[in-house]
Amino acid sequence: MTASLTSRTGCAEVPDFFQYRSTYALIFCTDSGLGRAEFNPIERIGILAKAKVPACFIHGDDDKVVPLNENSKEFVARYKAAGAEDAVKLIVAEGQGHNFWEGFFRCRELIDFAISQARAGAAVGN
């Protein structure tokens, strides 16, 4: 039996480069600190976009740690340019930075995305 990624919803903190390399997270940094695109997830989205793996991002517009434009917006733009525009969604949280706030856990769009992807995954297994 071959496992495959059908969608990705989640969040993670990645404290250092070595964990960053092995942990899939919805945190994409345009500068890995090493200046090497091969270590930068946003430079490697072609496989996901080609397979049209659904992706949903929720990102604060006041995020100073992982800036919106260079990260989630860039991911979405590249996904769309690769022909996967129907498979990606960006929810911009106005006035939020790099933090969890009550609205994150109550975001109807994110909850609906996660539920629909879980149902789609369950249907594939039947």
- Is residue 49 a part of any domain in this protein? yes
- Is residue 5 a part of any domain in this protein? no
- Is residue 37 a part of any domain in this protein? yes
Dihedral pair phi/psi, residue 86, rounded to 5° = -80, -5
Which has the minimum average pLDDT: 12-16, 59-63, 67-71, 90-94?
Answer: 12-16
- Is residue 120 a part of any domain in this protein? yes
- pLDDT band for position 3 (cuts 50, 70, 90): very low
- Is residue 100 a part of any domain in this protein? yes
CA nearest to 71, candidates 14, 2, 1, 5: 14
Show the domain range for 87: 17-125
Average pLDDT, integer, range 46-63: 92
Q: What is the predicted pLDDT for the residue at 12?
A: 44
pLDDT top residue among 50 and 7:
50
- Is residue 12 a part of any domain in this protein? no
- pTM (predicted TM-score): 0.68
Average pLDDT, integer, range 20-48: 57
- Is residue 109 a part of any domain in this protein? yes
How many domains is the chain built from?
A: 1
